[in-house]
Structure 1
């Protein structure tokens, strides 16, 4: 199977993550009495960095979304868990906001408004990722599902 892959970057999330991490680290050094608080706030910066830039891949293993800046953070959905794929527009507010979102019945990686890959999963839940050429991704997923069913 050919590999389909695209990168999505929310520049504002990455920039805010870098700036806030630098600020919180400096504050932790300068304000010793509040060091613990500032170190905890670094987790928010890490979350922005982890979800602000992702690569979406459709290959023989399934659909994978991994953080570009922290590549060990990934979500892989094997084809055995996917019923069908669709491409349609999405807005961050309908997906619960920006970043990695958990909602009843659906999880999402939402970095912008626009083109999105919507996966219907076998557990009656859904997974959505905003990505350019979502139609190409949906086609790649559905072709693989058809080949699997035909075997």
Structure 2
């Protein structure tokens, strides 16, 4: 038996995705650089600057992706205040497809002309076609479900709003 859904009820899709190598590399790199900085003062400045590379691996090695009535949000799993939300009003269409990191510029947060991406691995990816003519890509499991929900929330779909 089905029950009518409350008009205020909204569907939310949520996934976390972690790189199998980015976080371990970031941890090892950070530890090594801290040890070098502590042991040899002549390398201290360089080591501390290179810690930014370790931080980049750690910050982008794990992500949380949410599709809700507010839009699509991708956030760092380690530093959740580092996030990007794309409201549905800025999305023309969503789709899912198998994506290789080199196709979208590499691993981590990438930007190139006409494309922004958050890539933690090869595989399923959510592709958002934005109103300004660019694409935003997020590699995440079950991207097809996310794309279907995004398309339901788009203005003019008659659903989700």
**Do the structures match in fold with TM over 0.5?**
yes
Per the alignment, in what secondary structure is the counterpart of residue 26 of structure 1? helix
When you count helix as a share of all residues, which structure comes out higher? 1
Aligned to 2:134: 125
Q: Does 1:136 align with 2:145?
A: yes
Which 5+ residue runs of structure 2 have no aligned equivalent? 1-9
Mapped to 2, the partners of 1:5 and 1:128 lie a distance apart of: 16
Which 5+ residue runs of structure 1 have no aligned equivalent? none
Runs of 4+ in structure 1 deviating by more than 3 angstroms, as ranges, are: none
Alpha-carbon deviation of 1:11?
Answer: 2.3
Count of residue pairs brought into register by the alignment? 149
Cα deviation, 1:96-132, whole Å, max 9, x if unaligned, reads 1111111110001111111110000011111001111
Per the alignment, in what secondary structure is the counterpart of residue 21 of structure 2? helix
Cα deviation, 1:42-99, whole Å, max 9, x if unaligned, reads 0000000000000110012100000011111111101111111001110011011111
Q: Does 1:23 align with 2:36?
A: no
User: What's the TM-score once normalised by structure 2's chain length?
Assistant: 0.90
Mapped to 2, the partners of 1:32 and 1:11 lie a distance apart of: 33
After superposition, the CA RMSD in angstroms is 1.0
Aligned to 2:99: 90
Larger Rg: 2
